[in-house]
């Protein structure tokens, strides 16, 4: 197992989501940054939908209580390896896997994004709910006891022999893209004035402090309705952008409600959802409208880029110095030359 010595700010178990149950009122949940989850799993040899730990803002301290535990670290975060004997910690990079022995620990501090991921080789030995280990904390369902982790929790692991530690050979930042967040307009674009739509597409918005796994409230130019903000409740998809009566948009994300009765001006394209999921309060963003065909093309290109990145993983280089074991076992001499004669010795 791994034991939680310190839980972090809001650490939960998440996979790619719980699909097929929204008609029963069950949100999809799942990772806020699906790219990060998939990379963390790949780094330690897991299937990409294996449940991993999703960290929020401040990470946990995790102690290995097995002979070996391999962790996959995806996201920009401050990571330290803590020896079992209480000696000095050693800083680690992220975007790699690292194998710990019994009693050793990982201490993860401030995160560079709102959410990052820690996978373990083989995954967690916990029962799924409706085919998923994703945690939906608002209803206390899924994951580990339906809640965020607490101090001294013990998470059981599936028995697995870890492979060699891996790292990304290229920067993952290009997967997420930059520039305006791309959207397809609708499904209620007709319920907004031309000036309102223009304000949405030309203005700059700020992620407010009202930001969590359910969605991000934005502050910025008011979006004008034509006939009010209310509609008959209908199904919600991840990435839908609701605009209530105050004209300030809300981007609905992993834990969004299954139905809603506010007009929706646009939907974030799937290729940009991982980038949006990483945003912290105070982040600035703009929107750009694209066609459905463009959205599909962008998503296919992102998937190809992810596969290329994962296909190029390499053995992880040691942190803080030479790998002496590898050095001693390598053939470092290809031959010898007599210094006096220049002939092969």
Domains plus CATH for the chain? 2-168 (no CATH), 175-298 (2.40.100.10)
CA separation for the pair 249, 206 (Å, rounded): 10
Distances (CA, A) of 307 to 48, 50, 197, 217, 310: 11, 17, 36, 33, 5
CA separation for the pair 345, 337 (Å, rounded): 5
User: Which of 279, 265, 146, 133 has its CA nearest to residue 215?
Assistant: 279
Q: How many CB atoms lie within 10 A of CB 210?
A: 13
In this prediction, residue 136 carries a pLDDT of: 96
In this prediction, residue 317 carries a pLDDT of: 84
Contact predicate 276/310, CB 8 Å: no
Strands 2-6 and 154-155, how do they pair?
antiparallel
CA separation for the pair 311, 307 (Å, rounded): 6
Burial class (CB within 10 angstroms; exposed 0-12, middle 13-18, buried 19+) of 35: buried
The ranges of the chain with pLDDT < 70 are 319-345
CA separation for the pair 60, 53 (Å, rounded): 10
In this prediction, residue 227 carries a pLDDT of: 87
Q: How many CB atoms lie within 10 A of CB 1?
A: 16
In this prediction, residue 158 carries a pLDDT of: 94
The DSSP symbol for 85 reads T
Phi first, then psi: give them for residue 170, nearest 5 degrees.
-140, 160
Tokens of 277: 């999921």
Phi first, then psi: give them for residue 247, nearest 5 degrees.
75, 10
| Model confidence pLDDT, tens digit, residues 25-56 | 899 999 999 999 999 999 999 999 999 999 99
Tokens of 47: 């299937």
């Amino acid at each position: 197992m791994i034991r939680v010595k310190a839980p972090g700010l809001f650490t939960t178990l998440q996979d790619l989501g719980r699909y097929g149950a929204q008609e029963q009122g069950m949100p999809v949940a799942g990772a806020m940054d699906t790219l990060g989850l998939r990379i963390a799993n790949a780094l330690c040899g897991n299937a990409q939908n294996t449940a991993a730990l999703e960290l929020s803002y401040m990470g946990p301290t995790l102690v290995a209580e097995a002979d070996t535990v391999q962790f996959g670290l995806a996201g920009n975060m401050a990571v330290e390896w803590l020896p079992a004997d209480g000696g000095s910690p050693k800083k680690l990079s992220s975007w790699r896997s690292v194998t710990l022995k019994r009693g050793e620990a990982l201490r993860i501090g401030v995160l560079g994004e709102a959410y990052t991921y820690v996978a373990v080789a083989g995954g967690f030995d916990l029962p799924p709910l409706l085919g998923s280990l994703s945690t939906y904390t608002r209803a206390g369902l899924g994951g580990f006891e339906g809640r965020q982790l607490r101090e001294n929790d013990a998470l059981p692991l599936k028995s697995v022999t870890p492979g060699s530690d891996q790292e990304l050979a290229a920067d993952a930042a290009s997967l997420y893209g930059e520039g305006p967040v791309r959207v397809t307009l609708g499904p209620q674009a007709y319920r907004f004035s031309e000036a309102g739509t223009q304000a949405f597409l030309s203005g700059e918005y700020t992620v407010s402090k009202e930001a969590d796994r359910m969605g991000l409230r934005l502050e910025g130019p008011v979006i004008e309705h034509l006939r009010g903000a209310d509609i008959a409740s209908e199904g919600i998809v991840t990435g839908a952008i609701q605009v209530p009566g105050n004209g300030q948009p809300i981007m609905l994300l992993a834990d969004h409600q299954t139905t809603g009765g506010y007009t929706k001006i646009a939907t974030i394209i799937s290729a940009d959802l991982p980038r949006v999921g990483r945003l912290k309060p105070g982040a600035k963003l703009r929107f750009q409208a694209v066609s459905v065909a463009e959205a599909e093309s962008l998503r296919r290109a992102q998937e190809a880029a992810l596969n290329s990145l994962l296909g190029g993983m390499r053995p992880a280089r040691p942190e803080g110095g030479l790998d002496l074991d590898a050095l001693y076992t390598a053939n470092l001499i290809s031959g010898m030359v007599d210094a006096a004669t220049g002939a092969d010795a």
